[in-house]
Amino acid sequence: MDRYLDLFLNYLVVEKGAAANTVAAYSRDLTRYLAYLGEREPAQVKASDVTGYLARLKGEGISPRSRARALSALRMLHRFLVREGYCEVNPTAIVEAPKGLQKLPGVLTSREVEALLASPLDTGAIELRDKAMLELLYATGLRVSELVGLKIGDVNIDAGYLMTIGKGDKERLIPMGASACQAVGEYLEQARQELLKQNSSPLLFLSRLGEGMTRQAFWNIIKKRALQAGVRSGISPHTLRHSFATHLLENGADLRSVQIMLGHADLSTTQIYTHVTRERLKRLHEKAHPRG
C-alpha cells in the first residue's frame, strides 16, 4: 500500500495545506501501520486489522495520546481511500477510541463566562481592546491564532459576520452576535487609533506598542481577568472556544453547524462536545434528583 500512502501525503500537502511537520508525523504513523498490514490492498483491510494494530501499539507500551494520534491518522487515510474510490468501506468507521484516550475539554458555565466578560482589568483603550477580544472569542469560537491574526477587513460589523482562515488555509464565515459587534465597534471607534499611534497595521487588535498581539500576550490577559473575576484556574483561550461549542449544543444548535463554525474538517472532532453536554446532564441529575 505504499503507493496509496504517497497519494495521501500529496493530498495533505496540496489540498489540505498541511504543514511539513504534520505531514511528517502522518508519514511516520502510517508507514508503521502499513508495515503491519503487509501486502493487503485497501479493500482487504478490515476493522479487526485496525483494532489489532492498536492492540499491538498498546502492547508495545505506546502512550494513550500516541495511540489516539495513530488512530486519527488511520481514519484520515481510510477516508481518503474511500473518497478516491480505491475501496468502498472505511474499516475505521466502527472503531472507537479506547476509554481514556479522549480528554474532555474544560468548559466554563454561562455564569463564569459572564463574570469573565464583565471584569474590567484596565482602563481606556486597553480595556476596550481586551473586552472586544474576549467578546469576539466567545461569540465565534475562534482559535487564538485566528483571533490575533484578524485584519480589519475580515470583520463586517454591519452584517454581523467575520471571515477567518483556519487550518489548511480554509476560509470560513462566522456570525459574531450583537454583543461582540458592539464591543468590536466601540474598540474601532474609540481605541484602535490610540493604540496604533504613528504606526500602520492591517491587524484588527493591537498591542500597547501599536503592533499585532501575540498569542502569549492574550493568554496572559485571560488568566489575569479570570483571577479577578474569581473564575477557576486553568483557563486558557481554548477554554472559551470549548465553552462556545458546548453552550451552543446545550441550547439546541445542531452538530453540523457547530462543526462549520469551529472549522473542524471532520464531524467526529466536534462530537466530543456531545460527551461534554452528556457529562453535565449526568452531574446535574446526580445533584438534583432525589435518587441521583
pLDDT tier for residue 101 given thresholds of 50, 70 and 90: very low
Shared-domain flag, residues 63 and 191? no
Q: Is residue 170 a part of any domain in this protein? A: yes
Q: Does the active-site annotation cover 264?
A: yes
Domain count, the chain: 2
Shared-domain flag, residues 154 and 257? yes
Shared-domain flag, residues 120 and 240? yes
Q: Does the active-site annotation cover 291?
A: no
pLDDT tier for residue 126 given thresholds of 50, 70 and 90: very high
Compare 1 and 111 and report the one with higher pLDDT: 111
Distance (Å, rounded) from C-alpha 284 to C-alpha 134? 28
CA nearest neighbour of 132 among 152, 108, 105: 152
pLDDT tier for residue 292 given thresholds of 50, 70 and 90: low
Q: Does the active-site annotation cover 138?
A: no
Lowest mean per-residue pLDDT among 179-183, 242-246, 267-271, 273-277: 273-277
Shared-domain flag, residues 122 and 254? yes
Q: Is residue 104 a part of any domain in this protein? A: no
Shared-domain flag, residues 138 and 212? yes
Q: Does the active-site annotation cover 232?
A: no
Residue 5 host element (H or E): helix 2-14
The pLDDT of 206-217, averaged and rounded, is 92
Give the per-residue pLDDT at 277: 65
One of 129, 241, 242, 247 is an active-site residue; which one?
241
- Kindly tell me if the per-residue pLDDT of 104 is higher than 90: no
Residue 178 host element (H or E): helix 178-190
Shared-domain flag, residues 235 and 197? yes
Compare 93 and 133 and report the one with higher pLDDT: 133
